[in-house]
Amino acid sequence: MKARVRIVVLDGYALNPGDNPWDPISTLGELSVHDRTPEAEVVKHAASAEVVLTNKTPLSQRCIEALDKLTFVSVLATGFDMVDIKTARARGIPVSNVPEYGTESVAQFVFALLLELASGVGEHNRAARDGRWAASGDFSVTVQPLVELAGKTMGIVGFGRIGRRVGEIAHGFGMRVLALDPLRRQPPSYHPFAWADRAEDLFQHSDVVSLNSSLNASNTRFVDRRLLRSAKPSAFLINAARGGLVNEADLADALNEGRLAGAALDVVSQEPIRRENPLLTAKHCLLTPHIAWASLEARRRLMATTAANIRAFLDGAPQNVVN
């Protein structure tokens, strides 16, 4: 009888904090789940594994070379920059990801962030509860400017699945859509829509900029002081993609100096966020702890596709391979 494959999850807590059982994967082999794995303990935790699953725990060259039983890696996410792809390829180890699971949840969250910037529901709730409304003597009290989105321009950096869904929702709000993407796939059918030729053009003409691109060597910290000078002082910046797209010190300066009306970010360059991150004290800056992807519906899709990735590998036909 053939031995069951040994599967180790290095950091499973975010995917399953208790409401998203591992059953689809546990039926495929002998499963061990670690809620979290410090980088120094990766080799220890995965020493016996033939299949390793990781979300954000790095699989470096050193780790991959030390794991002599490793035959397959499946990333519990779309991004796979935490895996040394070159080393895995050299060892003949396929690495798979989950290319589509959170489109609806992330696009929805982009607008949750935008609507909080534009309408300040949370802050106005606090004003009603902490006595400011009662003390005002007026039937209506605003504690921040209210912004109507209809007629404004939504600039979208990265027009893949999530970016296109953000554009559809923006169109539903009556916004114009301006997109920047090097591939320029088939444009959407709705109007008004246009392509931007440069990031500077997109920032100059947008009332809202939503970052929805992957992170690579060419766009790391591309949202910097120079680019932010192109933005309207009334504009909002939304980042629910990758923290490394933004030079955080430059963004904090732009917010504190009034060169940008507000920003809302679900991701930062180092996670969990460091106490010294300048965005924590920046004016008009909303921060959430990397949760746009984390609806139960999205996490169930992620679990199901990861199980399918493992099953395909065991059947000799790996899918969603990135290397």
Q: What is the DSSP string of 51-82?
A: EEEESSS-B-HHHHHH-TT--EEEESSS--TT
Instruction: Please compute the mean of the pLDDT values over residues 236-242 and round it to a whole number.
Output: 98
Cβ atoms of 212 and 157 within 8 Å: the answer is yes
For 89-138, what is each residue's pLDDT tens digit?
999 999 999 999 999 999 999 999 999 999 999 999 999 999 999 999 99
- Is pLDDT above 50 for 214? yes
Residue 240: pLDDT over 90: yes
Considering 242, 248, 299, 301, which one is annotated as catalytic?
242
Confidence of residue 1 (pLDDT cuts 50, 70, 90): very low
Residues 109-147 as b/e (b if ≥16 CB within 10 A, e otherwise) read bbbbbbebbbbbeeebeebeeeeebeeeeeeeeeeeeeb
Q: What is the pLDDT of residues 12-59, one digit of tens each?
A: 999 999 999 999 999 999 999 999 999 999 999 999 999 999 999 999
User: Among residues of the chain, what percentage have pLDDT more than 90?
Assistant: 98
Which CATH fold topology does 103-287 show?
Rossmann fold (3.40.50)
Q: pTM surpassing 0.85?
A: yes
The arithmetic mean of pLDDT across residues 64-90, rounded, is: 96
SS3 255: helix
Which residue ranges make up each domain of the chain? 6-101+296-314, 103-287
CB 48 within 8 A of CB 69: yes
User: Which of the following is catalytic: 164, 176, 290, 299?
Assistant: 290
Distances (CA, A) of 199 to 75, 205, 255, 258: 30, 10, 19, 21
User: Any catalytic annotation for residue 36?
Assistant: no
Percent helix, strand and coil across the chain, each rounded to 5? 35, 15, 50
What CATH class has 6-101+296-314?
A: alpha beta
- The single residue of 123, 148, 257, 271 carrying the catalytic annotation is 271
Q: Is 164 noted as a catalytic residue in this protein?
A: no
Is position 271 annotated as part of the catalytic site?
Answer: yes
* Topology agreement, domain 6-101+296-314 and domain 103-287: yes
Q: pLDDT per residue over 145-181, tens digit each?
A: 999 999 999 999 999 999 999 999 999 999 999 999 9
